Every structure is written in C-alpha cells, then in structure tokens.
Chains A and B, each alone.
Chain A
Amino acid sequence: MSLESHELEELKTKIGREPTSTELQIIAAEWSEHCSYKSSKKHLKMLPMDGPLVINEKGYDSGVLDVGDGYVVTAHIESHNHPSAVEPYGGAATGVGGVIRDILSAGTRPIALLDGLRFGDIEKDQHAKWLFKNAVTGIADYGNCLGIPTVGGEVEFDECYTNYAMVDVAAIGFGKKENLIKNHAKKGDLVILLGGSTGRDGIGGSQFASDSLESDDRSAVQIPDPFIEKLIIEAILEARNEKLIHAMKDLGGGGLSCAVSETADALDIGIEMDVEKVHTRESDMHSDEIMISESQERMLIITDNEKLIKLQKICEKFRIECSVIGHVTFDKKMHVKKGETTIANLSTDIVANATLLDLPSKKPVYLENIEKIKSFPQLSNYSEVMLKLLASPNIASKIWVYGQYDHEVGIRTVIKPGHDASVLRLDNGKFLSIKIDGNPKQCYINPREGAIGCFEEACRNVVCTGAKPIGMLDHLQFGNPKDPEIFWTFLESLKGLTDFAKEFNIPCVGGKVSLYNETPLGSIKPTPVIGVLGLIDKKPLKIQKINSGDSLIIIGNTKDELGGSEYFEYIHKFIGGMCPTVDFSESKKNMTAVLEIIENEFVKSVHDCSKGGLAIAISELCMTNKIGCNISLEKIPGEKLDSDKILFSESHSRYLITYENKNLQKLQVILKKYNVSYNIIGEFGKDSIFFTSDSKPIIDLSVDKAQNIWFNSLKEMVLHA
C-alpha cells in the first residue's frame, strides 16, 4: 500500500482511532499523488484560471468556456502513461475513455479527441515500436467505435522514454449552456452507479501497487469496451435533456473511493453507500476491492426518487446496468456499509483533502554546463542533412498515425490533421481551433523557456488557422517529485506557463499533473504538454494550393537557438546549447498581425515554423503542395548567422505566409502597422526545394524525392524495418 507511515499516523490522529481495512484502502487511493495532487496542488494555484469566457462550477472535471449564443465548449486533458507502458492497446484506449467521461460529466457531448504520444527510439528499440504500434491502434479502435473524431495530436520519440509510453489524451465537448449539469444534491437524494460492472481490473491503479490485495499485476490492466462507453454517452445525454441528473462524476483513478468522497466534499454533503448494491463482474469480490477497483466505463450520478424511475427506463433502453448504491446525507461523512455492517465511516473532508506537501527544490546540476555549445565540423552537404531529417521519426509525416483515426466523423472537422491546428465547426456559426504541443528536448535544457515555448507553439498553431487563443490545458509530466532537482524543473515550467498565460490573458481551463514518470534508465525529461483552444468568430483560414509564382514571407526573427533542436539531437547527437526563448512583445505583435492578415483573406496559407526549423517548415509547404521553391537565406530577418543556424534553428514566433503577389501591398500595410520583423524570402515554382546563401546554392532537393521520403518513412519504420 502506498500510504506512508507518517500518513497513517496522521490519519489515526485525525479520526482518533484505528482505521478499518476498507478505510485504509480508501485513504491510500485518495491520498495517492494521482488523486490528491499533494505535491503539486499548492503551486498550481499560481496559474490564472479565470477569464471572461470561463464558467466555473463546483465539481467539474473539465474546463468550461462560453463561446456565445448560449453554447459552451468543454475541454480536458488526461494521461494514461503507466497503464499504456504495460499494455499499450488497452492503456491507450481506456485513456481515451476516461477523458471522454470527464467531458460528459459536465453535461456536454464529446466532439473531438487529440492525442500526444511519446515513446523511446523506434529506430533502434523493438519494444518502443511495439508500444507505439499498439497504442495507436488502441486509440483508433476506441475513438472510431465511439464515433468521435480524433482530430489532431503529436508524436515524438526520445530515448528518455525507453521502456515507457506517454499517452496524453485531450477531449473537447460541446453543448448548450442551459444543459450544463449544475452539480447539487439534497438530503435523501439517491446515489447511482451506472455503466460497466465493477471487476478486479485496475485495482490499485492509482497507488501502483497494493500488498494486502491480490497482486497479480493486473492492477495496471484495463480492458476497453467502447460500445458500453457509447451507450453511456447516449444514455447520459438523454438523461441530461430530461433534467434527471442533479450531480455527476466519472469514475477514474481511485474508483468509487475517489468518486464518492470527492463528490461529497465538492457538494458539501455526506454519502452513505452499500458495497453489496454495486453490480460486480465476479461474485466473490471483497468490499475493499469494490471500493478501489478502477474498472472502466462507469459514472456516478445523484438524482432523486422520482427521477430514478425515468433514469432506469433510459438505462433499460440502452441496455446498461445501473444500481442505486446509496443516498445523500448531511453529516459530511462518507459512510460505507456492507449490508448492515459499517466498514468505513470517514469525514469526506479528511478523505478528499490530503495534507499538501511543500517539497524542496534545487536547480539540477546537469543544467550548469548544458548551454555550452560544442563545435561541430562544418557540414558540406545540406541536401543530405535535409533528407536525413525528413526521414527522421520526429519530423517524418505522421500520416501513418492519423490515417488510422477517423477524423471526420460528426462532420464538424473543417481543417483536418496534418495542418498546424485542427478546426471544428460549432453550431453557432463559429469555429473552434485546437492543438496540443510538447517539447521535452527543449524543456530538458531549459524547463522554463521550454514550457513557454510549448505554450507559444500551440498558440501559434491555432493562430495559423485564424483563431484567437481563449483557453489553455496544461499537462505537467515529470519524474519523482521527491527528488528536489526534478521538483525544481516542475516549478520552473509552471512559473513559465503562468507568466505567459497572464501576459496573454489565456486562462488555464483544465489540466493534469502526472508525476513519478520513471523508466529503468531514470526520470523522463520534463514533459509538459500544452493544449490551446482558439475561437474563430467569422471563418477560418481557407487554405489554398500554392501555385507557381506565389511568394513567401517570413514573419519573426531567426535566432541562434539550436539547443534541443532536431538538427543538434538527430544529426549531431548532441544534447545541449541555448534553447529558443519567447520574446513576449514580439510574440504578441506577430500573433495580432497574422490574425488580421488571415481575417482580411490576403493569404493562401499560414504555416508555423517549429520542429526542424525553417528549412523543414518550407519543405513541408513544398511537399504538401507538390511545388518547388527558391529561397535566399540572406533575406531571412534576424542577426547574421551561419547557414545551419538559419536553416535549423527552432526559434519561436515565426510564421510562413504564402500569398499571391497581387496581395503584397495590402499585406505589407498590416505588417508595417504592427511593426513586425518580416521579409520576402523567396518564391514558389519548378520542382526542387532550392535554397541559396549569398547566391550560392546550398540545398537542391527534388520535391518528389523529398515528399516520398517524408511521407513514407515512419510507416516503413513501424511496419517493415
């Protein structure tokens, strides 16, 4: 059991007696890091969480944003790292299921999913390949069965995830404001458990281990059943329409223990329940197992006697089980009985509020010299470097992944995966743009600037579609917080995110902290993943095909910032250097200018410059449009730099704008108005990706060849290597 001895002492003092075995299990689940956020909660308060569009209601598992005309968008992000590392197919699939129920519990319909996946080096490591392949299939199978489109995400490989899997899932919901569940309860209300049966799967998942129960390691294994989930979604939404739900919560980590204690604590009520009333999969389950089982596809609902009959009818119609497991009391206690015998009786305040920790932090030693740059021999053939990068797992097209996901079901998807951000049509004529981004390579070198970079990149991506960022989701994934050096990186990332969020008035509407992400080789690199939601009031950028004669403008300065770049890490196998930093005022200026340009329809497309740098970003434009380009490096704004720095530096706040020459004048008026740094750097035409430096060619690559490699290399790696 994960309860530490001092925590046990604390529990005894608080309740003034010896806890029962069931109480111990409940507390161990609820006081675990996963459920209580005991290490991080104190610090998370620094993030701005309010804004004009944010709707806060007690007991919500997801963030709610008002998008006007009586509609709301909900959003949440979750990870399923540990389960996916053990059983990638089921772990990734049930990760999708869990976050969908968070969206559902606010009373909104899930309309889109995004996934961030991270694994070890799939070029060398067979196990990483196995994890990757199965996690993708798990997500595809689950999302596709539910009819919820997977509209975007990101995939990354790094040796720090060897023998491990990072599976982050973000879900977006949509609904009418009047249909939001206003979590409340009155005395005598009934507590109902609806959905799948409670089994032994996932027992102790939130505590990772458990000594007093059967420990066959099946704790981490959760079997997905998307068809029950689909029935639950429809049943809940029908019950919502009929106003049958007083309060609702999804069962996730910690199972019933968490759902019951947290609901009671949030609503300031007590709940009395009977484990014998819970519908179980096996007949011989122990009460403790029932209380902490993390079986999937279950919801806790509070309603009254009268509405229960209607709710039961709906469940019957959808053929899902529901059992009345207890009722609401007003003693603020979580009272668990087995028949007539009391097996746990604890104040919900004690259960749901673990003592928060103030862990020590210390700047990691490794950071002292990391920014020093080694000198590398000058490379002679940049065309070859480009081919290597285009084929590298982190840069190669991810079509093999998102091609397996149904990304159009629901017919809302206006801009599909493969672009900077995805865009969904909303019922009020507006559009929602969403993207998640992470960058552990840069976060490792500079946890603060790296985290800000992820945030800005996600903003840049939604801006590229014409959307104004309105909300942020943060998913903070780190190693063992008890290591002061790791905790320091957590705090630095969090501070960076807070500063950016405040400066840009983007509230944090939801998030998750996942700690203890350790592999046999040690801790993972700091891996914050940031999701940004953007709103488009009128219409999104209509991406048009680039034709011969169209030109290219770059907005933003290119700086000497190769630290954490694919060029350093993949080509030179070097971890270090100066990682890109965001200049807040430049970032803001560039965003505003780009949004105005898109709104006026002066451009054919806007593309963000990130992984792989400028050279890769321009090549992506060429490859997706099947057209060549002619780019002059000396025209690129920024200080005078060596060619490799200009080509591959991953500096932030840069946008590539393609346009028809007749629009140049109008474009320049806006760019000058905001005083942004920009330049015309080349034009499109012919059939090769052609870069010159001081009129000398340095890259000359056939578009067809590049496209073939970029498009197919990931698939080849997974399926045939």
Chain B
Amino acid sequence: MVDYRVHVTIQNKPGISDPEGKTILNDLVLKGTHQNVSQINTAQMLKFVINETDKKTAQSTVQKICDELRIYNPMVSVVTIDVFDV
C-alpha cells in the first residue's frame, strides 16, 4: 500500500452557466490589460491523500467516495480525478 495524492476537480457541466467565472472574466480580467483572455471557469478542488494498492484503485475509491457522499451533484457538475505519487 502506498500513499497517493488525489485531486478532485468539481465544475459545472459544459453549457451550464458559471456566473462566478463570467464575473471574474468581465469585471476583473478584461477591465485590466489582459484582452487576450477569452474564458475563465470556476471550479472547486478537493485534495485527498489516500493509502491504496495502486493508482487506478486510488482513483476509483475516490470517485466512489464522491458519488456516495454526494460531494458533488451529478446533475449539475462533472468531476475530474487526477492521481499523483506522493
């Protein structure tokens, strides 16, 4: 068993509006000199450290935790899970 760092990124599904991201883009970034920025999306990230046999199991365990505990609402959001060695 090895420790893995698992990053869970929760963000709105594509096509679902993201008022926070849009506000940061329009009212902060584009108000400055950064006209080359075209999109900002907000997301929430959870960082796990988990003791598992391998990377793949670490990922599926975390996915299971997120689903079972309703850490995100699958109707609204998607999660992406990245696993790193500690």
Contact = CB atoms under 8 A, between A and B. Distances in A.
- Note whether A and B form a binding pair: yes
Interface stretch (B12-20, B43-51, B53-61): B12-20
A223 B16 contact: yes
A200 interface: yes
A120 to B, nearest CB: 16
A90 B17 CA distance: 12
A132 to B, nearest CB: 14
A221 B19 contact: no
A493 interface: no
Given A130-B70, A218-B15, A227 B23 contact: yes
Contacts of A227: 19, 23
B5 to A, nearest CB: 28
Main secondary structure on A side of the interface with B:
loop
A228 B70 CA distance: 29
Contacts of B19: 223-225, 227-228
A415 interface: no
Q: Select the residue from B16, B17, B23, B75 with max chain A CB neighbours within 10 A.
A: B17
Contact of B75 (A87, A224, A295): A87
A320 to B, nearest CB: 12
B23 A223 contact: no
A199 interface: yes
B56 to A, nearest CB: 27
A221 B75 contact: yes
Contact of A199 (B16, B75, B76): B16
Interface in A194-235: 196-197, 199-201, 216-218, 220-221, 223-225, 227-228
A199 B17 contact: yes
A200 B75 contact: no
Nearest to A126: B70
B73 interface: yes
Contacts of A225: 17, 19
Contacts of A197: 17
A370 interface: no
A87 B76 contact: yes
B76 A217 contact: no
B75 to A, nearest CB: 5
A8 interface: no
Contacts of B23: 227
Contacts of A216: 13
A119 B19 CA distance: 29
Given A130-B70, A227-B23, A221 B17 contact: no
Given A130-B70, A223-B12, A201 B17 contact: yes
Contacts of A368: none
Contacts of A223: 12, 16-19, 76
A157 B18 CA distance: 33
Contacts of A502: none
A470 B34 CA distance: 57
B70 A200 contact: no
Interface in B1-35: 12-13, 15-19, 23
Nearest to A282: B15
A98 B67 CA distance: 31
B39 to A, nearest CB: 12
B70 A218 contact: no
A279 to B, nearest CB: 13
A86 interface: yes
A216 B74 CA distance: 11
Contacts of A130: 70
Given A130-B70, A227-B23, A281 B15 contact: yes
A341 to B, nearest CB: 25
Of the listed residues B16, B18, B70, the one surrounded by the most CB atoms of chain A closer than 10 A to its CB is: B16
Given A89-B73, A200-B15, 7 more contacts: A86-B75, A87-B75, A196-B17, A200-B16, A218-B15, A220-B75, A281-B15
Chain A to chain B: the 8 pairs with minimum beta-carbon distance, closest first? A225-B19, A200-B15, A223-B17, A87-B75, A86-B75, A221-B76, A221-B75, A87-B76
Interface of B: 12-13, 15-19, 23, 70, 73, 75-76
21 contacts: A87-B76, A89-B73, A90-B76, A197-B17, A200-B15, A200-B16, A201-B15, A217-B75, A218-B16, A218-B75, A218-B76, A220-B75, A221-B16, A221-B75, A223-B19, A225-B17, A227-B19, A228-B19, A281-B15, A281-B17, A295-B17
